[in-house]
Amino acid sequence: MIKITKLLGIAVTVGVVGYLGLAGYVYYHDKQRITMPDQASLSPQNAAVLKTLSEKGCDYCHTPSAQLPFYSQLPIAKQLMEYDINLGYKSFDLTPIRNSLINNSRPPQGDMTKVEWVMQHDTMPPTRYTALHWAGTLNNEERDGILNWVKDQRIKYYAEKDMAPALMNEPVQPLPRTLPVQADKVALGFRLYHDPRLSGDNSIACVHCHQLGAGGVDGRQTSIGVGGEVGPINAPTVFNAVFNVEQFWDGRAPDLQKQAGGPPLNPIEMASKSWDEITGKLNQDALLKQQFTAVYPEGFTGDTITDAIAEFEKTLITPDSPFDRYLRGDDKALTAQQMHGY
C-alpha cells in the first residue's frame, strides 16, 4: 500500500510538473509571437483592442493562418486543436475585424455585434483554452475596452442621425424615411415593373409574383410562371429589398439591378429568350421609347431596363413602423410584451 501511494504521488508530481512546464512554455510562446503593426498608424483605441485580441490568442481559432505552438503537431493535441480551430473559424472569422482595426476603417456591423455578444455573455475564450493558455482570460477592463470600441464604431459608422441618443448603440437602426432616387427613372421603372412584355408570351410582369398590394409577394408556396409552369422558389418580398446585403434566397445577385435581370430570362418564370426579344417589343411602343430615350439615350437594353426597375424598387420601403418610432425615441410605440420580445 505504501509503495502504491508513493508511486501515485510520483505520478501526480510528474503530471503537475509537466502541466506547469507546458503551460509556462505556452505562456512564453503566446507573449513572444505577438506582432503589432506600427502604433503610429493606429488610433489609441484601435491599438488597445488589437493588442487585447492578439494577447488572448483569439486568432488561434478565428483566423486561417495563426502561428501555432510546437505541441500542435503532437498526437492527441493535434486532433483536439484542429477540431477547435475548424469549429472556431467556421463559427466566426476574425479577419475583417482585425483589418478594420489595423486600417482604422469601418468594421462589419454583423461581426461587431457577434464580438459584442461574446463580451457581454463572457462566452470566450472557452475553459479548455484558458486551462493551458493562462494569458487567455480577459479581465473586466479588457472586456469594457472592446465593448466601448464596438459602441464608438457603431455610432460613428452605422447609427442613423435621427435615432434617440440613448439608443444609438443598438445593433439595429430604423429604416430611413426616404432614399435618394431619380424620379424620372422611378417612373420608367414603375411602368416596366408592370409591363408583361418582359415575358416571352406577354402574359406575366414583375408584379405578377411581387404584388404591391399583397406585401410584395404572390401568396403562393411557389410561384407560377409562363404557361402555368410551377417554379421551385417562394417569391421573396420586394419591400425593403434594397436593404438586403444580397438578393435572391441564395444570395446569387449582389444588388437589385442584377436581381431584376434574372426572372425575365428564366425559362420557368417569365421565359423570354433574350434581351433582344424584349427590347424588340418595347421599341415598337413609340411613346414609351420616346420617354425612355429621354432618360437613357442609349435606349432599351438589358442594363437600362433593369436599372430603371431597380430605381423604382428603391422606393418600396416601409418606414415609420412602431419599432422604427421606438428607435427614434417614442417610448410608447411598443407594448411591454413587444419590448420584452426585443
Residues marked as catalytic: 269
Cell numbers linked to 244: 438586403
The Cα–Cα gap between 160 and 149 comes to 18
Cell numbers linked to 51: 493588442
The Cα–Cα gap between 194 and 192 comes to 5
Place of cell 456591423: 109
Nearby residues of 309 by Cβ (< 8 Å), 6 or more positions away: 189, 192, 193, 206, 256, 257, 260
Residues 26, 132 contacting (CB under 8 angstroms): yes
At residue 73, the 3 state secondary structure works out as: helix
Cell numbers linked to 28: 512564453
Following DSSP, what letter does each residue of 288-336 receive, concatenated? Answer: HHHHHHHH-TT-S-HHHHHHHHHHHHTT------HHHHHHTT-TTSS-H
The counts of H helices and E strands in the chain are 16, 0
Q: For residue 93, which of 79, 107, 72, 78 has the smallest C-alpha distance? A: 107
The Cα–Cα gap between 281 and 288 comes to 11
The Cα–Cα gap between 210 and 338 comes to 29
Alpha carbon of residue 178 to chain centroid: 23
